[in-house]
């Protein structure tokens, strides 16, 4: 049973049905986040430092969240109470990815805190949202902190995800010995290492294998979340549908949220190719994964790819 609802007030507005956008690294969740951020009535944040500190603590050491009961939910609520503040000083903490999602230029170097204008006026906001990376690992705590929350999760072909992760130094950095915390945390949902066989192969595993383990772990979490969450609180979107049928996806998301998400905004983001680079096309794994890497990914995550309807070795 979820905890008793806690009323959070930010900028004079009660936080009701906050929206959280989840997905594996390079799932395409940022596309959906940009559309929500640019829709009337929403204040969406991405990667605020206070939120990242808490969510990565929970992601990398799940015992911190499970061992503190309602305390973990309170810590997360407090992080969002700060992150969702709308003021020039608060918004100066926004990373460039958040400003870019709003269509704003990066913060100028040397600009004092408080000199950047907010991307939205408090009087225009009635819904709050967040799309910080790796929220999937804090989904249970999110629902404890905000029992009326609505979750949007994005699923993408794991082979395309691995292809993008291999080109992202920030993703690969988590695999370095100084950051991979398997000696302290096992099983390790964040790294996707769930059993003794995974643990034994990790030190010698190729980067494609480690990326595939992370994707496999995230979609297993997504499946468990789907089984445990009421339909009115979780909607799953496929990246492939976002790219191929953005207007249909926008309509489905609008109906789910009970708030209009601009079909034109989402379709325009995809049509212009921004923020979807040429490397984020559907089926890009065919061009970027070697035959050996493809075999490695399908051996690790073939069951999950098949369960999600992706044909092994063929079209996504």
The H or E element spanning position 1 is none
Is the backbone peptide bond immediately before 187 cis, with ω within 30 degrees of 0? Answer: yes
Burial class (CB in 10 A: 0-12, 13-18, 19+), 105: exposed
Classify residue 254 as exposed, middle or buried by CB count within 10 Å of its CB (0-12, 13-18, 19+): middle
pLDDT, averaged per 10 consecutive residues of the chain (316 residues), comes to 66 93 94 91 94 96 80 94 87 79 64 61 91 96 95 97 96 94 94 95 96 97 95 96 91 95 76 50 92 97 96 62
Output the six-digit token pair for 95. Answer: 């990373």
pTM of this prediction?
A: 0.91
Domains of the chain: 9-307 (3.40.50.300)
pLDDT at residue number 140: 94
Structure tokens of 251?
């309509």
* Rounded-to-integer distance, Cα 24 and Cα 136, Å: 7
């Amino acid at each position: 049973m979820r905890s008793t609802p806690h009323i959070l007030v930010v900028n004079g507005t009660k936080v009701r049905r906050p929206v959280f956008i989840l997905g594996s690294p390079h799932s395409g969740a940022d596309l959906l986040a940009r559309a929500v951020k640019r829709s009337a009535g929403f204040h969406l944040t991405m990667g605020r430092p206070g939120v990242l500190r808490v969510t990565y603590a929970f992601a990398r050491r799940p015992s911190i969240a499970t061992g503190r009961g309602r305390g973990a939910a309170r810590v997360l609520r407090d992080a969002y109470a700060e992150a969702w503040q709308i003021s020039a000083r608060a918004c100066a903490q926004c990373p460039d990815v958040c400003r870019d999602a709003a269509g704003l230029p990066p913060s100028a170097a040397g600009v004092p805190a408080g000199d950047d204008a907010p991307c939205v006026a408090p009087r225009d906001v009635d819904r709050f949202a967040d799309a910080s990376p790796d929220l999937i690992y804090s989904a249970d705590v999110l629902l404890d902190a905000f029992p009326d929350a609505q979750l949007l999760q994005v699923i993408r072909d794991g082979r395309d995800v691995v292809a993008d992760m291999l080109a992202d130094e920030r993703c690969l950095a988590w695999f370095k010995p100084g950051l991979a915390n398997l000696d302290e945390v096992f099983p390790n949902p964040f790294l996707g290492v769930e059993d003794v066989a995974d643990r034994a192969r990790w030190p010698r595993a190729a980067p494609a294998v480690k990326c595939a383990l992370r994707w496999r772990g995230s979609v297993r979490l997504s499946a468990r979340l789907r089984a445990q969450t009421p339909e009115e609180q979780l909607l799953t979107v496929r990246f492939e549908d976002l790219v191929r049928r953005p207007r249909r996806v926008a309509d489905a998301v609008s109906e789910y949220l009970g708030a209009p998400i601009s079909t034109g905004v989402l379709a325009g983001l995809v049509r212009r190719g921004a923020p979807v680079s040429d490397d984020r096309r559907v089926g890009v794994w065919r061009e970027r994964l070697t035959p050996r890497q493809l075999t490695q990914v399908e051996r690790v995550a073939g069951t999950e790819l098949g369960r999600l309807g992706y044909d092994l070795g063929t079209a996504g």
